[in-house]
Structure 1
Amino acid sequence: MRPVSDRFLTTVRGSHAMAARARVCAPGQVGVNPLGVEIPIVSGDVQLDATADIRGTLDLTTEWDWPADPGGLLTPYGNELYVERGIVYGDGGTEWVGQGYYRLYDVDQDAAPKGQITIAARDRMSGIIDARPLAPMEFGAGTSVAAIFDFVVGEVYPGAVILFDFDAGTTTFPTSHVLE
């Protein structure tokens, strides 16, 4: 859960003006203020499911130019979307809450070349799922939970910081385990 102000919590319980924004970012950024290009949101939806393998999905429609080449801003070849929801206060200020980082998976334009662009995106867990090993991998007895997660996640997201709610560095497997 992202921290918000008491004012946000009070305001969100009643009638309020909502704001949303999306930024196209280079992959691997972290935090709540990544560098990127803000794109307009025509419509969109973020679905979150704590029980799913991919916990967050995004459908977004924008007014933007179709990518002219594979390195274009909205091509599904690495760029991510960082999406936020906010409350616009009566004094003109806006408080933003991050909805997360989403990997671009499908980009469509029904009315080419200048029509609206629809984007389907998934949270970063989809990168871990897409990178399933091609062959089984064995982790020996005594390997820590933290070491295994650092390895598996690090293969996809080098430099990722993984937080545990227990001491994963000293929690080890008593026997060998195979990842497949």
Structure 2
Amino acid sequence: MSDAALAIVRGSFTMRIRAESWLGDTLLADDIPVADGSENRDRSLNVPEQISLTVPRRAGGFDWSPGTDPAHPLAAYGQQLRIDYGIDVGNGQTEWVNRGWFLITESSTTDDTVSVSCAGLLTLIDEAKLVAPFQPSITDTLASVIRSLVEPALTTTFDGTLADRGIPLGMQWDTDRLGAVTEVLDAWPADMVVTEDAYLLIGPVSDSGSPVLSVTDDRETGTVVQWQGGSSRDGAFNTVVAQGEDSAGNPIQGVVYDTNTAGPFCYGGPFNPFPVPYSYQSSLLTTVTQCRSSAAATLKRLRRTSSRKLGVSMVPHPGLVPGDIVAVTGAGLSNARCVIEAMSLPYSPGEMSLTVRVL
């Protein structure tokens, strides 16, 4: 986003939504008349993105009810929507922010309205179960296995900081394609995200980086920051044990403790002076170093669900996505580094909500 657009979205602004429909390489419609909708993202889910749209049945002389036409722009036969969020920056100019590509999963018509449901492109991997056991070859690596499991549905790109390595002999996955991808990522360790350009980006598990936005509780301007209610010990581990097997068949493991003294689950602290372990085993882990790296990344993932969270209500900001770092002031915190875990972005005038985890 430009500096001008960033300044505008901190207050009230005029917005619009532009949606294109594609079936493979064929453009079916370039400006679907979206009347309302919302975008929800939660990176704890297998498919983080969920979109709902409302479209008038007839607009511009076109019937937007898909009926039984498999090539209709709003049908659910492989059609994908590219959605852009427009910000009026003045002088008749609109700056467009690409929110990404989404697979239409369902369309229905009621009276004069068409309701469209979409999901992120990982749906293509999640629903594509393996029809025969998948066994990597002797020359396969972590990267090549992921490519084999997700391409050509999603083109994969890898962060240059990741170090690829071979796959142990005898690995096999029977049915769950997305589960196989997740197991490889856990062992690497790495994370995946579908980019706005529809690439599957594989990168390190990290909550680092500078804040992209400062959020301050200010009820007069419409920004509300408050702690989310509820507290539970369920899933609040302070130790992760990753188990594997070396080349000689001997069991190995790596153990990582939560040493964050500023957090509520620090090992040896009031939460529990003893280890409260989360344990798992993977044949992809063949050295103690690999076990420890995987355990450390798993601890970071566990914190996504068990750590303290804040709810933020604010003016819509179409430049944000889960995983972004924001600085939050409010609810007793001052300029606290937080990471966005979930969000809801309206596609018509309204409030945006964020769920952020305190780092």
2:134 equivalent among 137, 140, 154: 137
Q: How does 1:3-152 map to 2 (within 5 A)?
A: 4-27=1-24, 36-64=29-57, 65=63, 66-68=65-67, 69-111=69-111, 115-152=112-149
Q: CA RMSD for the aligned pairs?
A: 2.3
CA distance in structure 2 between the partners assigned to 1:136 and 1:118 by the alignment: 38
Amino acid aligned to 1:48: R
What SS is found at the alignment partner of 1:152? Answer: helix
In the alignment, the residues of structure 1 paired with residue 145 and residue 161 of structure 2 have an alpha-carbon distance, to the nearest angstrom, of 13
Letter in 2 for 1:49: D
Deviation at 1:165, TM superposition (A): 1.9
2:74 partner SS: coil
1:6-64 deviation digits (Å, cap 9, x = unpaired): 222222122221221111112369xxxx8842110111011111221111111001024
CA–CA distance in structure 2, aligned partners of residues 174 and 142 of structure 1: 10
Aligned with 1:171 (options 165, 169, 173)? 165
Give the C-alpha shift of residue 73 in structure 1.
2.2
C-alpha deviation, 1:140, in angstroms: 3.7
Whether contact under 8 Å (1:141, 1:176) holds in the other structure is no
Q: Is the 1:141–1:177 Cα contact (8 Å) retained in structure 2? A: no
Distance 1:174 1:71, change over 3 A: same
Q: How far 1:153 moved relative to its partner?
A: 1.3
Q: Which residue identity lines up with residue 157 of structure 2 in the other structure? A: L
State the shift of 1:136 in Å.
Answer: 2.2
Stretch of structure 1 that moved more, 84-93 or 117-126: 84-93
Within 2, Cα distance between the matches of 1:20 and 1:77?
23
Q: What amino acid is the match of 2:70?
A: P
Q: 1:43 to 1:82 in 2, by over 3 A?
A: same
3-state SS of paired residue (1:127)? helix
User: 3-state SS of the aligned residue for 2:87?
Assistant: strand
Structure 1 gaps of 5+ residues are none
Rounded Cα–Cα distance in structure 1 between residues aligned with 2:72 and 2:11: 41
Residue pair 1:145, 1:171 contacting (<8 A) in 2 also: yes
Instruction: Give the residue type in structure 1 aligned to 2:66.
Output: P
Cα distance in 1 for partners of 2:66, 2:82 equals: 19
The amino acid of 2:131's aligned partner reads L
Distance 1:147 1:19 in 2: 41
Which of the pair has the greater relative contact order for Cα pairs under 8 Å at 6+ separation? 1
Query: Which structure's CA Rg is the greater one?
Result: 2
Q: Equivalents in 1 of 2:28, 2:164: separation in Å?
A: 36
Code of the aligned partner of 1:177: M
Task: Note if contact 1:144-1:168 (Cα within 8 Å) is conserved in structure 2.
Answer: no
Residues 22 and 29 of structure 2 are in contact (CA less than 8 Å); yes or no, is this contact kept in structure 1?
yes
Structure 1 distance, partners of 2:10, 2:102, is 27
Q: Secondary structure at the match of 1:99?
A: strand
Q: Secondary structure at the residue paired with 1:178?
A: coil
Tell me which amino acid in the other structure corresponds to 2:173.
L
Q: CA deviation at 1:84?
A: 1.2
* TM-score, normalised by the number of residues in structure 2: 0.43
SS in 1 for 2:72: coil
